[in-house]
Amino acid sequence: MTRLYNDPVNFVDEATEGFVAAHAQRVCQVPGGVIRSTRSKPGTVAVVIGGGSGHYPAFAGLVGQGLAHGAVMGNLFASPSAQQVYNVCKAANNGAGVLLSFGNYAGDVLHFGQARERLIREGIPCEIVAVIDDVSSADQEEIHKRRGIAGDLTVFKIAAAAAEAGYSLEEVVRVSRAANFRTRSMGVAFDGCTLPGAKDALFHVPAGKMAVGLGIHGEPGISEQDVPTADALAELLVAHLMEEIPDGIDSVKGARASVLLNGLGSIKYEELFVVYRRVNQLLTEAGLEIVEPEVGELVTSLDMAGASLTLFWLDEELERLWKAPADAPAYRKGSLEAAPPIDASELDIPDADAIPPASEESIAAARCLYQALSATRKLIDQKAEELGRLDAIAGDGDHGIGMQRGAVAAELAAEDAVSRNAGAGTLLRLAAEAWADRAGGTSGAIWGVMLNALSVTLGDEDEPTPERYALGITKAREDVMTFGKARLGDKTLVDALVPFSETLERAVAAGDDFSQAWRKAVDASASAAQATADMKPKMGRARPLAEKSLGTPDPGAISLSLIVGAIQPVVDRR
């Protein structure tokens, strides 16, 4: 269990403060995470990595010369917000664009994707490579759905070495993707991890058993079996990874690869070395030439008892970049001439608290939007327990509390924005950032995307008309489907959002009074949300437990339909 903490709410902030104090010669803190405290070559690509905290040395420990230029740090096991990503990217930018890389989790995809769009709008080229190394999380035919685990390190290292060598953004993306598709990992766990202040672990594995393929947040694996000997574990992991040789490898015999044996938190280094002894034997016997392997804690999960094995299949270019020197707090190889320190006054750190000028019509609309967010918060307060119960049937049960945290944060942000005469667009932007940042997870990211889409559409100048509101909700629908990849029938919030958006759009176009149009859309959304009970989930953490969710509507669809219904009185008054 996690034993050393003060107030659990401040755990990540205090850990970050201590980390930066211990490694000030390599990193400095900026809003949202950390960047190199040393100067990078102007006109080079910046590699920004990140995800939830709790996985050290990922992500902050991998920032430094030859490795990442910055790391975005969300709350424990929660995606960082788009604002956090944006802040770190602005501070780390060297003038040649930014590559964002992270494990392929829905919340991260949404938030990093939002930040990318914002950077591009400001003229900063930005691309994304989401790591997909975990072979247990999806079949090879759906490799794009796989999650990122310890293979994060290989992709981050290749991207950063390429940037350090002066590659263009296009070329950094190319080699990063090559590394991504040549990396395969598989993990096992003997027991779960405990969040600071929690009375019990997030999950448990039965005594004497081992979960095969379990994810680093407790996502379902593929089987349970008796705890093996160290040699038997090595044989199991190697056998699984050798079943899937990446394209471009003609023969295992004579192929070159790096090997990463990763401890997830409470497995000791000596235990890992015992396992690696057999891993090395098996791969050598198969004719593989091992290049600069790594054994130790690379991507952890607080105090989880478990380990993972990664094979990174090399070609000449990837091997050269893998061997390139690096000097980060938690990862060093070769030797580098120390770069001079940066001057903090040179950093481009956005003032997220600034309120731009707005028209009187937009300021008036912002007050109505604050009332809508207040109604949302009151509704979620009443329904949080029910939403959590729905989510627990096939998910992790945190939808209610996550929505509650997000709604409270959004209402507070909106209240502050109204007190400072913010326009509609600014109020929604601040509410989006607060919701996503406080709620965390996929639902936090999705609501951040939706509110941000409305923000961009409404702006701070024009008076929002019914047509403009309908257009904003259409953009919200499009952005959620673009970033989250969900479609109708996947049993997600999208199944309630699409009928709501389409009905509102049609009714407004037909000339209906906005209150009447909203009511029609609410009815369509409510019916569609209830209909998700007959669907099997095709995305997210509920997907591996699809059968269990039959007969139960999707909590995300239900919460959306309830919220738009709760807003009806505000629309009527408008």
Catalytic residues: 217
285: which residues sit within 8 A by CB, 6+ positions away?
none
Instruction: Confirm if 520 and 507 have CB atoms less than 8 A apart.
Output: yes
**How many CB atoms are closer than 10 A to CB 536?**
17
Backbone angles phi, psi at 99, to 5 degrees: -105, 125
| Helices (H), ranges, 122-214 | 152-164, 169-181
Asked if residues 418 and 427 have their Cβ atoms less than 8 Å apart, the reply is: yes
| DSSP letters for 81-142 | PHHHHHHHHHHH--SS-EEEEEE--HHHHHHHHHHHHHHHHTT--EEEEEE--BTTSS-GGG
Q: Are 76 and 105 in contact (CB under 8 A)?
A: no
Do residues 384 and 404 touch, judged by C-beta distance below 8 A? yes
Annotate 334-364 with three-state secondary structure.
Answer: CCCCCCCECCHHHCCCCCCCCCCCCCHHHHH
User: Token pair of 265, please?
Assistant: 């938190």
With tokens 């050290």, the residue in question is 56
| DSSP class of 265 | B
Q: CA 52, CA 422: separation in Å to the nearest integer?
A: 31
Cα–Cα distance measured from residue 159 to residue 167, given in angstroms and rounded to the nearest whole number: 9
CA distance linking residue 427 with residue 448, whole number of Å: 13
